[in-house]
């Protein structure tokens, strides 16, 4: 696993942790109609510490000394992944506006705190698209090279 793949794995794991946190906040605020308590954040802090430990262990593990850390293929993979992520941001925001317009109507309004959840969710989804695009391209490169 090269440096590009490790970075994508780290981004993907961060997405999963942030999605769980966003889901907890959404349920707590919109379903249970209460603000989150500080004591409820202990599992999140433990999960973040465990993930940071895993990231350090993963980043310290070196690949073969004969293989370079990154090459032109990795740069092309990152460039394509950024392009896919940017396009996904545009599509997610357009879909969000369309859904809000259909649900609320032309004269409807959205509270600011809901927009925060929407924008955070779009950024999380773009990060997911970015890391998955990297992993798919790397896997495609590995299968072609065999």
End-to-end CA distance of the chain: 15
> Whose CA is closest to 133, among 4, 19, 20?
4
Position 29 scores a pLDDT of: 86
Q: Where are the domains of the chain?
A: 3-145
> What's the CA gap between 56 and 34, in Å, rounded?
36
33-69 pLDDT per residue, tens: 988 888 887 888 888 888 888 888 877 776 666 666 6
What integer pLDDT is reported at residue 63 of this predicted model? 65
Q: Is the pLDDT of residue 88 over 90?
A: yes
Is the pLDDT at 11 greater than 80, yes or no?
A: yes
pLDDT of 57: 83
How many angstroms from the chain centroid is the CA of residue 28?
21
Supply the pLDDT for residue 43. 84
DSSP symbol at 35: P
Q: What is the pTM of this model?
A: 0.73
Q: What is the pLDDT of residues 104-143, one digit of tens each?
A: 988 888 888 888 888 988 988 898 999 999 999 988 877 7
């Amino acid at each position: 696993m090269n440096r590009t793949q490790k970075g994508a794995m780290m981004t993907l794991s961060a997405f999963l942790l942030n999605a769980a946190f966003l889901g907890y906040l959404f349920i707590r605020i919109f379903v249970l109609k209460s603000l989150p308590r500080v004591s409820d954040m202990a599992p999140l802090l433990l999960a973040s510490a465990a993930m940071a430990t895993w990231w350090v262990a993963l980043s310290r593990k070196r690949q073969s000394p004969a293989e370079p850390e990154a090459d032109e293929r990795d740069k092309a993979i990152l460039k394509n992944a950024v392009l896919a992520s940017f396009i996904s941001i545009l599509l997610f925001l357009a879909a969000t506006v369309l859904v809000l317009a259909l649900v609320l109507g032309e004269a409807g309004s959205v509270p600011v705190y809901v927009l925060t959840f929407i924008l955070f969710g779009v950024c999380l989804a773009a990060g997911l698209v970015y890391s998955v695009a990297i992993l798919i391209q790397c896997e495609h490169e590995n299968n072609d090279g065999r």
